[in-house]
Amino acid sequence: MPPLPDPKALRERKACVGRLNLHLRLWGDPSKPLVLLQHGGKDHGRSWDWTVAALLDEYCVAVPDLRGHGDSDWPTGGGYDTFDFVTDMAGVVEALIAEGFAGPFDLIGHSLGGNIVLHYAASHPNRVRRIISLEGLGFSDKSYADMSAAPLQERMSKAVGRRLKVASREQRFFAEQEEGIKRLRHLHSQLSDQQAEHLAVHALAQGEGGWRWKHDPHLGMLPIRPMPPAEYLPVYASIEAPVLLMYGRDSWASSPKGDGRVEAFQNAQLIEYEAAGHWLHHDRFDDFIRDVRAFLGKPS
């Protein structure tokens, strides 16, 4: 296993964006160039710890928890669309600038986080130097068609029913932390025991009823009106900064080369990893870090 970062290198604070307190971790020497790592859905910032350790020799690393995830606040009544997440990222970046960090910054995002950093780069081009998106482009034409096949009123009825069910359901707890670790190991069998334990420990919080996942149970519900590629690809086409797209050949997500989405970008390259799934940065860590360093280049 690659090493974990020295806990002494960590400084934690809250970035207040709107009415939410978003948990922000800063790793390493603040005089070094800053790279921001954004995790994916139902994940947390500590999932980047191995990546943080690999970058600390040249970078200060900022790792925010998304709203509804990790140690960040949950929004009341929902609020989990692209605009909400991009607004949060904008607030976090401005908080970093107010703290003395000078942009433009390098951004790396996984899955939902990859989608967020791309949208942020399109809307705030002066704040971004380079972008790496791991499996984070949004729905492909096929997945969008599958999700939109049923009439809107039918999708709306099912979605409302699911949300009401989640809202009325009691919080689920594990009696012991080890049960949560076993659950994550079962869901992600490609992880080593050490990886699964580290990810689960930081994904769990202890309460009066036992151990629960930190993320909001309302996360992960499919949108009633998913954003079609015809809508988001022109946004990506506007990005002027260099973009690196990373995909695992064993992932459930379709390759942007195979479905043509990579062609929407002005300046993008794609790396596809053999023997890697959706969490390619865990599955092929050494190759991932090598390619990250090559793409970002020597910090100035």
11-27: pLDDT as tens digits: 999 999 999 999 999 99
What is the rounded CA–CA span in Å between residue 37 and residue 117?
Answer: 9
What is the rounded CA–CA span in Å between residue 165 and residue 44?
Answer: 25
pLDDT of 222 above 80 = no
Per-residue confidence (pLDDT) for residue 205, from 0 to 100: 97
pLDDT category, 77, cuts 50, 70, 90?
Answer: confident
Residue 158 domain-assigned?
A: no
What is the rounded CA–CA span in Å between residue 195 and residue 164?
Answer: 34
The residue-averaged pLDDT of 47-67 equals: 98
Residue 254 domain-assigned?
A: yes
Per-residue confidence (pLDDT) for residue 142, from 0 to 100: 93
Which tens digit of pLDDT belongs to each residue from 111-131? 999 999 999 999 999 999 999
Per-residue confidence (pLDDT) for residue 167, from 0 to 100: 84
pLDDT of 151 above 90 = yes
Residue 206 domain-assigned?
A: no
Residue 17 domain-assigned?
A: yes
From residue 231, how far is each of 24, 85, 143 by CA, in Å? 31, 17, 14
The residue-averaged pLDDT of 103-115 equals: 97
pLDDT category, 163, cuts 50, 70, 90?
Answer: confident
Per-residue confidence (pLDDT) for residue 78, from 0 to 100: 72
Q: Which domain holds residue 232?
A: 7-138+227-296
Give the CATH number for residue 114. Answer: 3.40.50.1820
Residue 35 domain-assigned?
A: yes
Residue 180, judged by CB atoms within 10 A of its CB (0-12, 13-18, 19+), counts as buried
Per-residue confidence (pLDDT) for residue 26, from 0 to 100: 98
The residue-averaged pLDDT of 30-42 equals: 97
Residue 30 domain-assigned?
A: yes
When divided into structural domains, the chain yields a total of: 1
Which tens digit of pLDDT belongs to each residue from 241-296? 999 999 999 999 999 999 999 999 999 999 999 999 999 999 999 999 999 999 99
Neighbours of 43 (CB within 10 A): 24
Angle, nearest 10°, between helix axes 112-123 and 229-237? 50
